[in-house]
Amino acid sequence: MEPTELNAVLEEAGLSPYQADAYVTLLELGSASASEIASMSGVPQPRIYDVLRTLDDEGYVTVYERDRLYAQATHPSEALSGLKTAIERYEFAIDEIETRYQAPEVREGDVSLVQRFRTVLDHARESIGMANEHIQLAVPADQFTTLQPLLRDAHERGVYVQLSLHLPPDDELPFDRSEFEGVCTEVRRRDLAGPFLLLVDRQRACYATNSSREYGVLVDDYTTTYVFHWYYLTRLWEVYETIYDGRNERPPYSFVEITDCIRGIEPLLDDGAEIFGRVEGELVRTGRDRTLTGQFVDVEYTGTRTEGTPASLIELAAEATIYFQTEEKRYTIGGRGAEREDIAAKRFTVERIDGP
């Protein structure tokens, strides 16, 4: 029997097309990671976790976790009993099956809706493993503990990790603050409960509600993730107390957001300091990677700050530009997604400060 014919029979037995594709692929592989199964079967990456867990519930496969989700095909003697039962139910109760079947709430593409928090968490694990520059995470303490090993690996790769940690007002931190060392760059404590939210490199987002009606949103799109980014900053980060700061107090130190860089260097520039360092990003016109070495010479933004205080997040919410002088020329630097500047920067490193 050809694979396409087998798929058709499995679909007639009650499997969805994605479930049939994933199961037939796994029969050939024996065992594999969720990502490998998605790649070889054609099942969209955000859907593969729901698909495999449903197949596990039905007895077709067994899922297990190592550093990520894996699955292996169940022995036919076990799997066929479920298949025979499904066929019998199909033959004698087709109307009941059609009535009870509920298609997952999913819109294919860059934004997907999923029904299970476990699917959001699986996608979050994979996204953390793919992070290159920046992670923003909002979770309660138990979920931080779950993701801690992956966050540690990301931090060791040089990823800037910001954690908004939810703890009820009267609760003590359930572990020593040393647990943040080598795992997070900054941690802030948040008393108000909120959703599960992970942002990676301003490109991927994993969101899940904390309400009784469980659903999640998975995003792989810069523009949509940008909306979640500002929600994170204003609702889950900016106003809360810092309980851990792993950044260097003296150079060298880095920023991954242009807003933070401006707030860090503008008071020093106003005092007459000379600030030298490095900007990493891409040329806006061509998209090619570019690293500049030179001097931070000025900043400019739409808002107007109160004299003697750093600019607020709101004052930097529109256009924000840094002027950076190299040996060749003066560049205009914007943040991720910049359109008017010379460079769209993803990391700013202050290496030396001379003067006041």
160, containing H or E segment? strand 160-166
Has this prediction a pTM greater than 0.85? no
The residue out of 184, 213, 245 marking a domain boundary is: 245
User: Domains in the chain: how many in total?
Assistant: 3
Please tell me whether residues 292 and 341 are part of one structural domain. Answer: yes
pLDDT at residue 84, rounded to an integer:
65
- Residue 22, domain CATH: 1.10.10.10
Q: Is 106 domain-assigned? A: no
Residues with Cβ within 8 Å of 27's Cβ and at least 6 positions away in sequence, in order, are 73
The edge-to-edge listing of strands for the beta sheet with 61-65 is 31-33, 69-73, 61-65
Q: With respect to residue 75, please indicate whether it lies within any of the assigned structural domains.
A: yes
Identify whether the C-beta of residue 184 lies closer than 8 Å to the C-beta of residue 161: yes
Q: Which two tokens stand for residue 352?
A: 């030396």
Say yes or no: 116 and 218 in one domain: yes
Q: What is the pLDDT of residue 177?
A: 93
Q: What is the pLDDT of residue 89?
A: 60
Task: Dump pLDDT digits (tens) for 40-91.
Answer: 988 998 899 999 998 888 888 889 887 788 888 888 776 666 566 655 665 6
- Answer yes or no: is 105 within a domain: no
- CATH assignment of the domain containing 285: 2.30.30.690
Indicate whether 285 and 235 sit together in one domain.
Answer: no
Q: What is the mean pLDDT of each run of 10 residues along the chain (356 residues)?
A: 73 84 88 90 89 87 85 77 61 55 48 86 94 96 95 96 94 93 96 93 91 79 91 92 92 93 92 95 94 96 76 84 95 92 95 89
pLDDT of residue 321: 95
Q: What is the pLDDT of residue 331?
A: 97
Residues 212, 234 within the same domain: yes
Residue 286: count of CB within 10 angstroms of its CB: 8
Q: What are phi and psi of 226, to 5 degrees?
A: -60, -35
Q: Are residues 18 and 117 in the same domain?
A: no
Q: Which of these three, 245, 274, 293, is where a domain ends?
A: 245
Which pair of structure tokens corresponds to residue 41?
């079967």
Cβ-Cβ contacts under 8 Å for 93 (sequence gap 6 or more): none
The answer to whether position 205 is within a domain reads yes
Q: Domain residues for 130?
A: 111-245
Q: What is the pLDDT of residue 334?
A: 95
- Are residues 308 and 203 part of one domain? no
pLDDT in tens, 253-304: 999 999 999 999 999 999 999 999 999 999 999 999 999 999 999 999 987 7
Choosing from 35, 67, 100, the residue where a domain stops is 100
Instruction: Say whether both 14 and 68 belong to one domain.
Output: yes
**3-state class (DSSP) for residue 217:** strand
How confident is the model at residue 101, as a pLDDT? 42
Task: Look at residue 207 in the predicted model and tell me its pLDDT.
Answer: 94
Answer whether residue 85 is part of any domain: yes
Same domain, 121 and 240: yes
The CATH number of whichever domain residue 197 belongs to comes to: 3.30.870.10
Do the domain assignments include residue 69?
yes
